[in-house]
Amino acid sequence: MTVQPPENSPSPVPPGGLRASHDDREAVVARLRDAAAEGRIDLDELGERVERALGAKTHGELAVLTADLPGPVRPEDRPPLLLRAGVQGVSRGPGYWEVPGRVIAHGGLGGVKLDFTRAECRLAEVVVEAYGEMAGVTVVVPGTWAVDTGGMDPGIGGLKDRTTPDRLPGTPLIRLTGSGGVAGVVVRHPNRRERRKLPGRPAR
């Protein structure tokens, strides 16, 4: 026996017919701008597609605008970030940067500073391989993040962990590995001067 749906029941929504939200439209616009920056579409086509995206009412209308573009790169699929200090030294941060799943830092003769305080991290865990070598590596993490140093070899220079174990739910865990080398590795939260320069605080 076939059961008939009530006469007033809503019809099934066809594939792609779901209504798009503001966030859905903005996400497509961001992908289109990335594609233009990569040379996949020209500026005229970018303008045309963005206009159509902002006026789209359904997911189907949005899908056709990115159907010929590769999908967005997930953070865990990004290649490792490699920092080699050499003689001059090198740093990443404290400005905005996107965190991959793995960071490799070689202190060399000039030292490395790896600052996560303004970084965007969409991962639950990040592996940081720190090799102090001759000049050392300093890793700065927000006060709400936690660090696991169990995989770290202190070497001659040692490991100085000045972080607290407190971790805010939903924030990343930094798994620190590598070796302290001659100069050592330091992991800490922002100091007073660095905290004054964080967003929402006047720079002095």
Summarised one tens digit per residue, pLDDT across range 21-42 is 998 999 899 889 988 988 999 9
CA distance readout (Å), 145 to 60, 105, 142, 159? 39, 19, 6, 18
pLDDT (0 to 100) of residue 23: 87
Number of Cβ within 10 Å of residue 116's Cβ equals 23
CA distance readout (Å), 178 to 92, 104, 151, 153? 18, 9, 7, 6
Q: What is the mean pLDDT of residues 100-111?
A: 96
Whose tokens are 């100091």? That residue is: 191
Is 70 exceeded by the pLDDT of residue 57?
A: yes
pTM of the full structure: 0.65
Tokens of 43: 């500026």
Burial of residue 8 (number of CB atoms within 10 Å: 0-12, 13-18, 19+): exposed
pLDDT (0 to 100) of residue 203: 34
Burial of residue 185 (number of CB atoms within 10 Å: 0-12, 13-18, 19+): buried
pLDDT (0 to 100) of residue 202: 36
- pLDDT digits 0-9 by tens, 41-54: 999 999 999 999 99
Distance CA 101, CA 77 (A): 8
pLDDT (0 to 100) of residue 58: 93
